[in-house]
Structure 1
Amino acid sequence: MHAPIPTRHPYLAPEGPRVLAHRGLVTTDAAALGVVENSFAAVAAAHAADVDYVESDCHLTADGTVVLFHDDDLSRVTGDPRAIADVRLPELEELMAERGGLVTLAQALDAFPELRFNLDVKAERAAEAVGRLVAPHAARVLVTSFSDDRRVAALKAAHAAGAALRPATSPGSSTVAQIVAAQRLGLRTRLRRLLSGLDALQIPERQGPLPVLSQGLLRAAHAAGVEVHVWTVNDPAQMTRLLGRGVDGLVTDRADLALAVVNGR
């Protein structure tokens, strides 16, 4: 008897390879004008470039609003040392006004109904709110986090909020490490169990000097119906090489270049 073919989540329904615009798209010209990552302008630029997927990050403001922002604090992006969690939404909007504009998760989901969002839950206190917000949009959202606890909390919140289906998901760092180890040690039963319930395995090609991606891992993931997306890939030659190896998605700061590579294959 053949094993059943895993059902593909609607998030992954279009044919790949997939280009995931890492924190939106900030071109050289846009950066010269002060536009920054994860801004409304960066998401809009990715959409205008015909990207289907935007990878972004979620934090919660002091007044309880989920915003797209990577860092825990504002220092790198705005020069303000305060934590996102300590700043209220109106003040954050003012700080981002000349940097491409702040975008909340609710605004992103409403303003770009054709985009699919890959959301990394960066803060524990944001997990439940992220889950509630994405519940009506679960077919076009993937929820992930470096912390599996945050990821699972967001998925549970989406279910509790009445999501018609579970958002797509990719594992946290601990589970990724276990998956890589199980594949290398030939622990097939454990590997299948770890991959069960996942839709994508989002990994770097290497972690420092250690390779993470391998052909064995690709084969195991694909056999389980799990896609493999590699981050963060900005060099066209590396993009071409990874796609040639069978990678399903590229997380990239240069979605414009990645689209050209994918479309030129």
Structure 2
Amino acid sequence: MSDALPVRQPVPQIVAHRGDPIHEVENTLAAIRRAHHDGAEMVEVDLRLTADGDCVLLHDATTARLWGIDRPVSDQRTAELPEGVPLLRDALAATPARLLLDIPDDDPADDLARAAVGVAREAGVDVVFCGEETAMQAVRAADPTVEIRLTWKTLDPLPDALVEQLRPSSWNPPHELVDAASIVLARTQGLAVTCWTVDDIDRARELAALGVDAITSNRAGELRAALQGR
């Protein structure tokens, strides 16, 4: 029997989903700061565009669920938004953690992508974008060089032509679609594997053993500690 210790798998990057949505309101400056304080090197946030063209952090198309005002964000000027909805430029200034900017397909993606790219450039901050095909086409049109994690919700392989067009750094599926075979397929296309949203520690360990590169979680601090053996 060999006395050699087993090779320890590298710990995947753990991305804090909407900051820390367990202890703070999701997509707020408090949630981002809490996630960074707990060790997050990357924080995922969702973007929307106001009526006067500002990028703000919010997942939903309206402010009803979190803020109790049932109006589309796109119909509200920035000054009309509920107190607590942050501007992207303020979020970029709030933390040294790298932000993963999620662009939805149900907003005018071209306008939102251009605005987000512009804010990041003005701030001089290196960001990453994620989202589905239409949104990422808008991002790539706005910035030929920015990093993209391409969200993909089926087991159908990414078309080679799309990979060539968008040049994503990763295949970014729901974690349920990730197994050994799908990882091999992504690797053959030169892609990392980043997945979402994993709150179960046992599943996170399975994914780490499979060799995924990044895991997005609502409980990022707990997963990070568990995978690092703390």
Q: One fold, TM greater than 0.5?
A: yes
Q: Quick one: which amino acid aligns to residue 135 of structure 2?
A: R
Secondary structure of the corresponding residue to residue 82 of structure 1: strand
Match of 1:116 among 91, 94, 98: 98
2 CA distance for matches of 1:242 and 1:39? 28
Alignment RMSD (CA, Å): 2.3
Amino acid at match of 1:42: A
Are residue 72 (structure 1) and residue 61 (structure 2) matched? yes
Tell me the CA shift for residue 234 of structure 1.
0.5
Partner of 1:221, secondary structure, is helix
Question: TM-score, normalised on structure 1?
Answer: 0.73
Give 3-state SS (helix, strand or coil) of 1:134's partner.
Answer: helix
Q: Across the two proteins, how many residue pairs are aligned to each other? A: 215
Runs of 4+ in 1 over 4 A off after TM superposition: 136-139
Instruction: Give the match's secondary structure for 1:171.
Output: strand
Q: Which runs of 5+ in 1 are unaligned?
A: 1-14, 160-165, 184-189, 207-211
Residue 24 of structure 1 pairs with residue 19 of structure 2: yes
SS at match of 1:170: strand
Residue from 110, 127, 148 that aligns with 2:113 = 127
Identity fraction in percent: 29
- Which residue of 1 is the match for residue 171 of structure 2? 201
CA change 1:46–1:155 in 2 (3 A) is same
Letter in 1 for 2:146: P
Tell me the TM-score normalized by structure 2: 0.83
- Structure 2 counterparts to residues 1-265 of structure 1, below 5 A: 17-27=12-22, 30=23, 35-92=24-81, 95-96=82-83, 101-112=84-95, 114-122=96-104, 123-124=107-108, 125-135=111-121, 140-146=126-132, 148-159=133-144, 166-173=145-152, 177=154, 180-182=155-157, 191=160, 193-196=161-164, 197-206=167-176, 212-264=177-229
Question: Given residue 143 of structure 1, which amino acid in structure 2 is its aligned partner?
Answer: F
Residues 17-51 of structure 1 show CA distances to partners (whole Å, capped at 9, x for unaligned) of 10110000134xx3xxxx31001100110111110
Q: Deviation string for 1:58-109 (max 9, x for gaps)?
A: 10111211001100001111121100111121222xx23xxxx322111122
User: Higher helix proportion, which one?
Assistant: 1
SS of alignment partner, residue 41 of structure 1: helix
Residues 232 and 131 of structure 1, relative CA distance in 2, 3 Å threshold? same
Instruction: Mark the CA change 1:139 to 1:199 in structure 2 (over 3 Å): closer, same or farther.
Output: farther
Q: Distance in 2 between matches of 1:143 and 1:120?
A: 6
Which deviates more from structure 2 when the two are superposed, residues 237-246 or residues 39-48?
Answer: 237-246
